[in-house]
Chain A
């Protein structure tokens, strides 16, 4: 495309979309409902299911263990409206006839949702404070876990945004995103890997494992901050954002 690159306005456009979207969460009860449900489930899962106190260890593993499963339902709920709602309301025509490139709209929307997920995550910081007060945890591991959790949410969101671009129907968007994310989590599950290991060559098993959100998240939540995990999540996001931009372009042309 022969569009001139105007860095300043490219940023301004993305930022405008970002701000509108982010404020949009708080204009409706969506933000409140999401935050309350997220924090409530975090609490229930950490204290009742994972036995935060009973373990007698000063770490946040019981808290982070649940994140891939918690996000599996909550993040697609956050992402399902990103494009579906624009298309249902017809506002997509308003948005995409502004002097914005489609990728700017995609990126702005994604970043707003990701920041919102980040806000939800930030509200769990009292866990960190509690655990520091009760004992002396490894702060490095906890910081890495938070990073991993944030990246995981971003990965789910990029998938959800992509799926949302494919359909007008939010329910379909939700179900399909859950399914897609579930498959990517599952790819790292021991049972699945054993299933592949029984007959497939090691290279394939390793390939399946390396695609898994779970594998990379668990590495990070053990405190292993290597570039590969971060690059994996960032490139997964980039891929799905590019796919999402293409999906928006294709779908509006129909």
Chain B
């Protein structure tokens, strides 16, 4: 059975509070799915239901075709999970922890020693393998958690905030590792770091208040931004500045122009009309205009879209899917 994960109207209620409300999506092998949402949106709850730690109130979660409610064991055999904050037994060493997990997964002695060694190598635990977990730095603890998740070479990886609290170097390493692992697996990782989505995800599912607000590629998400395709220009305004803003507004396909004075220069933002697909021509037109007026451009760039804005817009209370 190929790597695959499927959520079908998954719902979780705690008393009167609905944490996850009928969430559905599916992903195939080779996908790095960024599971986005503000704190308390239901990301962790969803992940706990997928791993079978929490029972769902209604709906189904399937991993490689196995329903987590009726066959949790088959699901867990095919799934690696990094819980939020990477909890570990503080008085064990990474080696003993990995071997314990191997034993609990039914591996024989030789097999679990080999698997533990391979997982430790993969996340570069070498130096601390025999050190008690409580003495390890946050970065190493996270790596031990990741090693536990990939120990049995699972087809589906569920990682709850895998880079939370790591320094930029450690984040980079973890992302590199996720990229390597992604080849044939489904990786679902929750995050609220938007740069992470752009850096490693091939797919984004954004939820708020337990409901899906967006499902698509990071590019499609960025395209929702009003900044998507906008041309940003910083120029030293000489004599040519008179009427420049107006003329920018008259360019083909321009919806709106904003101007902001900064020290010694001015910044313009030229927003294209909604639905403008090609981002090139507008920049060319803007540059031609700048040259024609004899102004000195300091910076000219085309925005991909600002995920923060989109994130805020999509997750603001009252927003619809």
Q: Which residues of A are at the interface with B, using a C-beta cutoff of 8 A?
A: 1-4, 8-9, 12-13, 15-17, 19-20, 23-24, 27-28, 89-91, 93-94, 96-101, 252-254
Top 7 closest pairs, chain A to chain B, by CB: A90-B87, A16-B103, A99-B76, A27-B91, A93-B83, A16-B104, A9-B106
Contact yes or no, B91 A254, CB < 8 A: no
Closest to A27 in B: B91
Give 13 A-B pairs besides A2-B70, A24-B92 with Cβ atoms closer than 8 angstroms: A2-B71, A12-B104, A16-B103, A19-B100, A20-B100, A23-B96, A24-B91, A27-B91, A89-B87, A93-B83, A98-B101, A252-B54, A254-B14
Known contacts A9-B106, A12-B103, A16-B103; is-contact A98 B91 (Cβ 8 Å): no
Nearest CB of B to A103, in Å:
13
A100 to B132, alpha carbons, bound, how many Å? 25
Interface residues of B in 53-88 (CB under 8 A from A): 53-55, 70-73, 76-77, 79, 81, 83-85, 87-88
A94 to B80, alpha carbons, bound, how many Å? 10
Contact yes or no, B52 A97, CB < 8 A: yes
Contact yes or no, A24 B89, CB < 8 A: yes
Convert B199-226 into 0s and 1s, putting 1 for each residue whose CB lies closer than 8 angstroms to a CB of A: 0000000000000000000000000000
Contact yes or no, B53 A99, CB < 8 A: no
Contacts of B100 in A (CB 8 A): 16, 19-20
Known contacts A2-B70, A3-B71, A97-B51; is-contact A91 B87 (Cβ 8 Å): yes
Cβ of B90 < 8 Å from any Cβ of A?
yes
A4 to B106, alpha carbons, bound, how many Å? 15
A19 to B104, alpha carbons, bound, how many Å? 10
Nearest CB of A to B27, in Å:
19
Closest to B102 in A: A16
Contact yes or no, B53 A96, CB < 8 A: yes
Ordered by A's residue number, 7 sampled pairs between the chains whose C-beta atoms are within 8 Å are: A9-B106, A19-B103, A89-B87, A94-B148, A97-B51, A99-B76, A99-B106
Closest to B80 in A: A97
Cβ of B105 < 8 Å from any Cβ of A?
yes
Cβ of B48 < 8 Å from any Cβ of A?
yes
Closest to B108 in A: A12
Nearest CB of A to B19, in Å:
12
A20 to B14, alpha carbons, bound, how many Å? 33
Contact yes or no, B83 A97, CB < 8 A: yes
Contacts of A12 in B (CB 8 A): 103-104, 106
Closest to B44 in A: A93
Contacts of A4 in B (CB 8 A): 71, 73
Contacts of B90 in A (CB 8 A): 89
Nearest CB of A to B261, in Å:
52
Contacts of A90 in B (CB 8 A): 83-85, 87
Which label, helix, strand, loop or mixed, suits the secondary structure of the B interface? loop
Our pick among B48, B77, B85 for the contact of A99 (Cβ within 8 Å) is: B77
A16 to B96, alpha carbons, bound, how many Å? 11
Contacts of B105 in A (CB 8 A): 98-99
Contacts of A93 in B (CB 8 A): 48, 53, 81, 83, 87
Closest to B89 in A: A91
Nearest CB of A to B211, in Å:
22
Contact yes or no, B70 A17, CB < 8 A: no
A101 to B89, alpha carbons, bound, how many Å? 19
Contact yes or no, B73 A253, CB < 8 A: no
Contact yes or no, B87 A94, CB < 8 A: yes
Contact yes or no, B73 A99, CB < 8 A: yes
Interface residues of B in 1-57 (CB under 8 A from A): 14, 48, 51-55
Contacts of A17 in B (CB 8 A): 104
Contact yes or no, B92 A27, CB < 8 A: yes
Contact yes or no, B14 A1, CB < 8 A: no
Contacts of B88 in A (CB 8 A): 89, 91, 94
Convert B149-172 into 0s and 1s, putting 1 for each residue whose CB lies closer than 8 angstroms to a CB of A: 000000000000000000000000
Nearest CB of A to B224, in Å:
34
Our pick among A16, A19, A23, A98 for the contact of B76 (Cβ within 8 Å) is: A98
A16 to B116, alpha carbons, bound, how many Å? 15
Contact yes or no, B89 A89, CB < 8 A: yes
A90 to B14, alpha carbons, bound, how many Å? 19
A19 to B101, alpha carbons, bound, how many Å? 12
Contacts of B81 in A (CB 8 A): 93, 97
A192 to B54, alpha carbons, bound, how many Å? 44
Contacts of A97 in B (CB 8 A): 51-53, 76, 79, 81, 83
Q: Pick from B52, B70, B73, B77 the residue with the most CB of A within 10 Å.
A: B73
Contacts of A28 in B (CB 8 A): 91
A23 to B96, alpha carbons, bound, how many Å? 10
Our pick among A1, A24, A94, A254 for the contact of B70 (Cβ within 8 Å) is: A1
Closest to B54 in A: A253
